[in-house]
Amino acid sequence: MTWINLTDPRKVPDGQGFSALVFDWDGTMVDSREVNFHALRQAMADCGVVLDPDFYWVRQGMASPELLVLWESEYVSLPEPIATIIDRCRQYNIEWAGTVEVIKPMAAVAKAAHARGQLLAVASNASAINLRASMHATGLADLFHAVATWSDVPAGRGKPHPDIFLLAASRLDIPPAQCPVYEDAEEGVAGALAAGMTVFNVRTGRLSRP
């Protein structure tokens, strides 16, 4: 069962006329929601902690390390260091990377842009190791000329901060204003707008400009 409430694919802007396109990954290019949840839930269960789904789902756009910092501030200290739990979570993500589903309408947008010769980047709140495992498992890795992840920016500067998007544009050597973004989460929309980028929310069909 897919969770993505993708807007009518015919209404997704194709990005023609721009120098480059920037895509979020989880929830935009692939449906990885259940994999990400179960990986973190299992990583926490391994040290005796039950992840409350209600806590998780309303914050799913956050990077997992930052989510666990928030967990400790709202509940109690975890029995293991956050870094240890996250390392274990990443191993589960890598192990299950082959189970994520490509969101075909968005993959079609990326493939068409690639065929036109436009530059493409991924800007993701995931860790670099998780993202690359998923990109290669789906066979989409070769479409993209650059990748920027939570791992590549200072701690605490993931989405909704603009850093990941600005880094993606920099790695493409294209001004941010020439890099429209495709996103599915409000954190990502906020980060893209803060970076001075036009952003299309694939879940709501809303196009926003800075």
Q: pLDDT tens for residues 66-109?
A: 899 999 998 889 999 999 999 999 899 888 888 889 999 999 99
Residue at 143 is within a domain: yes
Q: Is residue 4 over pLDDT 60? A: no
**Same domain? 162 vs 118:** yes
Q: What are phi and psi of 149, to 5 degrees?
A: -130, 175
For 40-99, the DSSP string reads HHHHHHTTT----HHHHHTTTTS-HHHHHHHHHHHS---SS-HHHHHHHHHHHHHHTGGG
Q: How many CB atoms lie under 10 A from the CB of residue 104?
A: 11
Q: What is the pLDDT of residue 99?
A: 87
Percent of the chain's residues with pLDDT above 90: 74
In a domain, 1, yes or no: no
165 Cβ partners below 8 Å, 6+ apart?
22, 123, 148, 176, 179, 181, 191, 192, 194, 195, 197
Domain endpoint, select from 98, 129, 155: 98
* Domain boundary residue, one of 46, 69, 98: 98
Give pLDDT, residue 2: 40
The answer to whether residue 4 is domain-embedded is no
My answer on whether 75 and 56 are in the same domain is yes
Say yes or no: 182 and 203 in one domain.
yes
- The pTM (predicted TM-score) of the whole model is 0.82
Q: Which helix (H) or strand (E) holds 190?
A: helix 186-194
Residue 2 domain-assigned? no
pLDDT band at residue 7 under the 50/70/90 scheme: low
The pLDDT of residue 35 is: 87
* Burial status of residue 91 (CB atoms within 10 A of its CB: 0-12, 13-18, 19 or more): middle
Residue 167 falls inside a structural domain: yes
Residues 153 and 163 grouped into a single domain? yes
Dihedral sign for Cα atoms in the order 131, 136, 140, 145 = positive
Confidence of residue 44 (pLDDT cuts 50, 70, 90): very high
Pairing of strands 146-149, 181-183: unpaired
Confidence of residue 32 (pLDDT cuts 50, 70, 90): confident
> Tokens 């690359």 appear where?
132
Q: Does one domain contain both 88 and 108?
A: no
Q: Which residues pair with 23 in a beta bridge?
A: 122, 182
One domain, residues 82 and 163: no
Task: Give me the pLDDT at residue 3, please.
Answer: 44
Domain containing 87: what range? 33-98
Band (1; pLDDT cuts 50, 70, 90): very low
pLDDT of residue 174: 97
7, 50, 76, 85, 88 from 79: Cα distances, Å: 42, 12, 9, 10, 14
Q: Is residue 3 part of a domain?
A: no
Same domain, 52 and 84: yes
pLDDT tens-digit series, residues 139-197: 999 999 999 999 999 988 999 999 999 999 999 999 999 999 999 989 999 999 999 99
Cis previous bond, 154, omega within 30: no
The overall average pLDDT reported for the chain is 91
Pairing of strands 30-31, 101-102: antiparallel
- Residue 13 is given by DSSP the state -
Give the span between the Cα atoms of 130 and 91, in whole angstroms.
Answer: 8
Same-domain pairing of 47 and 89 = yes
